C-alpha cells in the first residue's frame, strides 16, 4: 500500500479516531486529502515545501493519494539551493505555506506555486502505485555526497513504515513531530503513526517546554527525534511519564545524553539508523540499554561489513556497511551515479560499522563526504562548488569541526589566486548568503596550500 491507502483504511474502520491534534479525525483528514488530491496531476511531480503544520501533513499525504512523485524539501531550503532543486525537479506544482511564499517569492515566481486549499472535487480512491512507480524523492544524496535527487517507490516507503512499526512493539502510537516531515525521520514518524492508526501533533519550531506540555497533555507514548532535542528536554523539559519508547537518530548520541535523560525522566533512549537512500534499516532492541548501539537490522534487512581489502569484517572489526532491503531507493535520477553505490544488489552505505558477538551494530564513522550538523546533512562538495565560483578562489577544501552534541560544523580552507585580494569574512558572507542556515560555513581560513 501507499501511505494514502493506509490512511483510507483507518478512515473506514475508525472514522472518528483523531489523527492530528484533537481537531482532525481520520475521516475528516481523508475528505480534505482527497479534495486536494484532485488538483494534483496523477503521475506528475509535486514539491512539498512547507513548515510542519496540520496542512503540511495533509498536503504530503495528498501527493500520494493523487499518484504523484512527492519531492520532499526541507522548509529551510532557500536561495541558490532552492532554485537549483526546483529547476532540476521541473515540478508540475509547488505547494507552499504563506511564510515560505513570502520568503522565497523571487524564486518560486518562476514556477507554478500555490498555497493549498482543500475545496476541490473528491478523488474517491488513492492511486495504486506499482513497486517501481516513483512516489517520493529527496535531494540529499548522502552516499554520493552531493545535492541530487534520490527516488523512492511509493509502495516501498510504506513497507519500511510497516516493518519499523512492527519492530517497535507498540500497539497504537501517539507522538509529536519535532523534525520536518520532509526528512527521512519525519516521514518515518508519520508513517509508523499511520500504520498504528495513531495520533500525531506537528510543531513548527521545537521548544522543550511546548513539547513536554504536548506529551503530557496527550499522554504520548512515542518520541523519535534528534539528540539535541533530548539535550533540551533534559535542560528544560518536565513530566514525560507516558513515554514508552524514546528513539534517537540522525546524529551522534552521546553517553551524557542517555545518562541525563535516564536520571531526570527514568526513560531509556534507544537508537535507529537510516539514511536517505535506504530509509530506516536498524533499531536498537528496547531491552538493550546501557550501550550506544544502532541495534540490529530490521526484518527483511540483510547486511555485510566489508573491509578495504574486500574481505568480511569479523566481530569487533570495522567495515563499510553494505545493505539489502526491499525498500531501498529506486536509484538516483542521475543514473551515472548508481554504479558507484551498488554492487550486485548490495547498497554501499559509506558508513563504517562494527558488529559484536551479540549481533549489535556500532557506528564507527564515515567513508563518504558528508557532515551532520543539528541532524541536518551537509555536503562539503556543495559548499566547495559555491566557493569555487568566486573569482578570487583557486582551491578550496571544506571539512567538519567538532561541535559536540550538535555534530560537525563546516569550515573551509581556501587558496587565493595570485593577484587577488579578498578577506575571510567576504568569502564567508559570499557562501552564507546563498545557503540555508544549517549549511552556513562557520569559518573560512585563507591558506597558502591545501594539505
Share of the chain above pLDDT 70, in %: 100
Of the pLDDT bands very low, low, confident and very high (cuts 50, 70, 90), residue 406 is confident
Task: For residues 208 and 184, give the distance between their C-alpha atoms in angstroms, rounded to a whole number.
Answer: 22
Go through the chain and tell me how many residues it has.
451
Q: 120 falls in which pLDDT band (50, 70, 90)? A: confident
Give the Cβ contact number of residue 216 at 10 Å. Answer: 16
pLDDT above 90 (res 292): yes
Whose CA is closest to 176, among 208, 216, 209, 223? 223
Query: Could you count the other beta carbons within 10 Å of the beta carbon of residue 442?
Result: 15
Helix, strand, or coil (residue 354): strand
pLDDT at 451 over 80: no
Residue 403 banded pLDDT, cuts 50, 70, 90: confident
Q: What is the pLDDT of residues 184-229, one digit of tens each?
A: 999 999 999 999 999 999 999 999 999 999 999 999 999 999 999 9
Q: What is the DSSP letter of 41?
A: P
Contacts of residue 336, defined as CB under 8 A and 6 or more positions apart, other chains included, come to none
* Pairing between β-strand 331-332 and β-strand 318-324 as defined by DSSP bridges: unpaired
375 backbone φψ class: left, alpha, beta (φ>0; ψ -120 to 50): left
- Contact criterion met (CB below 8 Å) for 174 and 199: yes
Q: What is the pLDDT of residues 318-353, one digit of tens each?
A: 999 999 999 999 999 989 999 999 999 999 999 999
**Does residue 146 have a pLDDT over 90?**
no
SS3 state of residue 375: coil
Is residue 420 in a domain? yes
Residue 196 lies in a domain: no
- Rounded average pLDDT over 358-384: 89
Angle at which helix 54-66 crosses helix 3-13, to 10 degrees, equals 110
155 vs 137: CA distance, rounded Å: 13
Q: Three-state SS for 97? A: coil
Cβ distance 235 to 183 under 8 Å? no
CATH number, domain of 422, equals 3.30.300.30
**How far is 273 from 280, CA to CA, in rounded Å?**
6
Alpha-carbon distance 44 to 79, whole Å? 25
Range of the domain at 420: 371-446
Q: Is residue 361 part of a domain?
A: no
Q: What was the pLDDT predicted at 373?
A: 87
- Cβ distance 94 to 111 under 8 Å? yes
pLDDT on residue 141: 82
* Residue pair 167/283 in contact by the 8 Å Cβ criterion: yes
CB 284 within 8 A of CB 294: yes
Question: Which pLDDT value is given to residue 405?
Answer: 78
Q: What is the pLDDT of residue 261?
A: 98
The span from the CA of 361 to the CA of 180, in Å, is 27
Number of structural domains found in the chain: 1
DSSP codes, 418-450 = TT----HHHHHHHHHTSS-GGG--SEEEE-S--
pLDDT of residue 202: 97
Which pLDDT does position 412 carry in this prediction?
Answer: 96
**In the numeric block, which cell numbers belong to residue 325?**
532491503
The model's pLDDT over 244-284, given as tens digits with 9 standing for 90+, comes to 999 999 888 999 999 999 999 999 999 999 999 999 999 99
DSSP track, 278-336: TEEEEE--TT--SS---BEEPTT-EEEEE-TTSPBPPTT-EEEEEEE-TTS--EESSGG
DSSP assignments along 227-260, one per residue: HHHHHHHHHH----TT--EEEE-SSPPPHHHHHH
pLDDT at 143: 83
Beta bridge partners of 355: 361
Per residue in 43-83, pLDDT tens? 999 999 999 999 999 999 999 999 999 999 999 999 889 99
| Residue 432 included in any domain | yes
Q: Is residue 439 part of a domain?
A: yes
CA atoms of 223 and 219, how far apart (whole Å): 11
* 352 in a structural domain: no
- Say if 412 falls within a structural domain: yes
pLDDT of the residue at 356 = 96
CB 296 within 8 A of CB 285: yes
Q: What is the mean pLDDT of residues 354-364?
A: 96
Rounded to the nearest integer, the mean pLDDT of the chain is 95
423 closest CA partner among 444, 449, 441, 397: 444
Identify the pLDDT of residue 436.
Answer: 85
- Whether 392 maps to a domain, the answer reads yes
d(CA 173, CA 395): 51
Amino acid at each position: 500500500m501507499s501511505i494514502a491507502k493506509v490512511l483510507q483504511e483507518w478512515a473506514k474502520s475508525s472514522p472518528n479516531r483523531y489523527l492530528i491534534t484533537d481537531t482532525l479525525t481520520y475521516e475528516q483528514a481523508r475528505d480534505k486529502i482527497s479534495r486536494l488530491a484532485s488538483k494534483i496531476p496523477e503521475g506528475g511531480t509535486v514539491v512539498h515545501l512547507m513548515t510542519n503544520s496540520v496542512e503540511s501533513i495533509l498536503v504530503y499525504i495528498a501527493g500520494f493519494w493523487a499518484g504523484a512523485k512527492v519531492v520532499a524539501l526541507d522548509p529551510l531550503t532557500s536561495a541558490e539551493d532552492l532554485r537549483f532543486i526546483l529547476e532540476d525537479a521541473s515540478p508540475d506544482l509547488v505547494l507552499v505555506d504563506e511564510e515560505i511564499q513570502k520568503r522565497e517569492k523571487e524564486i518560486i515566481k518562476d514556477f507554478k506555486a500555490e498555497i493549498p486549499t482543500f475545496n476541490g472535487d473528491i478523488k474517491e480512491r488513492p492511486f495504486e502505485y506499482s513497486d517501481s512507480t516513483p512516489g517520493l524523492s529527496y535531494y540529499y544524496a548522502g552516499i554520493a555526497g552531493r545535492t541530487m535527487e534520490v527516488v523512492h517507490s511509493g509502495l516501498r516507503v510504506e513497507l519500511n513504515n510497516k516493518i519499523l512499526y512492527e519492530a517497535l512493539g507498540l500497539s497504537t502510537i501517539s507522538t509529536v513531530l519535532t523534525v520536518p516531515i520532509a526528512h527521512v525521520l519525519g516521514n518515518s514518524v508519520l508513517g509508523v503513526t499511520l500504520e498504528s492508526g495513531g495520533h500525531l501533533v506537528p510543531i513548527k519550531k521545537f521548544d522543550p517546554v511546548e513539547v513536554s506540555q504536548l506529551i503530557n497533555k496527550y499522554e504520548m507514548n512515542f518520541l523519535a527525534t534528534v539528540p539535541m532535542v533530548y539535550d533540551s528536554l533534559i535542560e528544560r523539559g518536565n513530566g514525560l511519564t507516558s513515554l514508552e519508547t524514546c528513539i534517537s537518530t540522525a546524529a551522534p548520541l552521546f553517553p551524557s545524553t542517555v545518562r541525563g535523560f535516564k536520571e531526570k525522566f527514568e526513560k531509556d533512549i534507544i537508537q535507529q539508523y537510516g539514511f536517505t537512500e535506504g530509509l530506516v534499516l536498524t533499531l536498537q532492541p528496547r531491552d538493550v540499554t546501557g550501550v550506544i548501539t544502532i541495534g540490529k537490522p530490521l526484518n527483511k534487512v540483510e547486511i555485510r561489513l566489508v573491509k578495504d581489502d574486500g574481505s568480511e569484517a569479523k566481530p569487533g572489526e570495522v567495515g563499510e556497511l553494505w545493505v539489502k532491503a526491499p525498500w531501498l531507493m529506486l536509484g538516483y535520477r542521475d543514473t551515472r551515479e548508481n554504479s558507484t553505490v551498488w554492487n550486485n544488489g548490495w547498497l554501499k552505505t559509506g558508513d563504517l560499522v562494527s558488529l559484536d558477538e551479540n549481533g549489535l551494530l556500532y557506528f564507527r564513522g564515515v567513508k563518504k563526504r558528508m557532515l551532520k550538523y543539528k541532524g541536518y546533512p551537509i555536503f562539503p562538495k556543495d559548499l566547495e562548488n559555491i566557493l569555487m565560483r568566486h573569482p578570487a578562489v583557486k582551491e578550496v577544501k571544506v571539512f567538519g569541526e567538532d561541535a559536540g552534541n550538535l555534530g560537525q560544523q563546516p569550515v573551509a580552507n581556501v587558496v587565493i589566486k595570485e593577484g587577488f585580494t579578498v578577506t575571510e569574512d567576504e568569502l564567508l558572507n559570499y557562501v552564507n548568503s546563498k545557503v540555508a542556515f544549517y549549511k552556513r560555513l562557520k569559518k573560512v581560513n585563507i591558506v597558502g596550500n591545501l594539505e
